Structure formats: C-alpha cells, structure tokens
Structure 1
Amino acid sequence: MARYGKSAQKSVKRAMHQKKRGQLKSGKSGKRVTSRKQAVAIGLSEARRKGAKVPRPSK
C-alpha cells in the first residue's frame, strides 16, 4: 500500500520546482530555501495541511 497520496506528490513536485527557480521561501523569516530536503519537507507539510494522505512526521 502506498504511503503517500497523489496530491502529496503534486505538492512536493511544486515545491521542488519553486526551489529550483529560487522562489521557495520558508516560514516567518521568508528566507530562500536552498536545501533539497527542506523543499521536500515544505511540500509535505503543505499537503498535510490540505488533508492529503501523508504519514505523520517522525519525532
């Protein structure tokens, strides 16, 4: 069974494209995201907020 839903995949893809273009910003500070891992985390958290099928973050 798939761990992540299709909508989660789309939001991560969108975040990665934004990172590549230099348009992805993080949190309150609004600094540009340079890390690939951070871009994926932002995409997954956005998907989680939309109610997509995403496992809860590990502690």
Structure 2
Amino acid sequence: MRGTRPRKRTGKASTSRRAAPKRWSRRVTKQSDALDLVHGVFKLSSASRIAASLKRSAERSKRRKTGAYRSALSMLNFYINRAGKNLPKTQRERLERAKIELKRQFGKE
C-alpha cells in the first residue's frame, strides 16, 4: 500500500494534543490528608480571615498527623512556596501577615 509508511515523530507534541501538566501541588491543597480547606481560603481579603479559616480547618481535622498549629502553618507555607514568583506581592504580604496572625490566634507569641 502506498502512503501507509509510519510518520517519523520529532518528540514534540502539537499544542492541540498536549495534555495539561500534572499539578501535584493543586491535588495536595484539595485532597490533603491533613486539612480540608475552604475553597479559596488563600485568596481571602484579610490575613486574620485566612488565619481563622486555617485554624478552624486544622482544629476540625481528624486526619492530621501533628498539632493543629503545625498543620495550619505547614499548609500556608506550602501554598506560598508553591506559588513562587507567580504570587503577586500584595497577596504574598497578606499571606506572610497571616502567618503572624495564625501564631497569635494559637497563642504561640
């Protein structure tokens, strides 16, 4: 048969067929064994609201492997670190203030 010769692959997938990259960090924030987070918790308008939501999630969790404070702070740090340079400066500052507020709410000052 003519024209049935297999085509050579160049190693690059066309943009229309490329699968979305696997986002393990998204899966961690959605399906973490430590905490069941409220959707959009890291985008809340104030640091105290972020800290309060993380504290509430950590205290209610029955699956966390460590104390509530460490679990909440760990999830906050995880989000900040994974966002990296893509995190806007104002949001990064709000999340850094949320760390301080979380410490205050747990009485760890």
| RCO higher in structure (CA 8 A, sep ≥6) | 1
- Return the TM-score normalized by structure 1: 0.40
Q: Which has the higher strand share?
A: 1
Task: Give the number of the structure whose alpha-carbon radius of gyration is greater.
Answer: 2
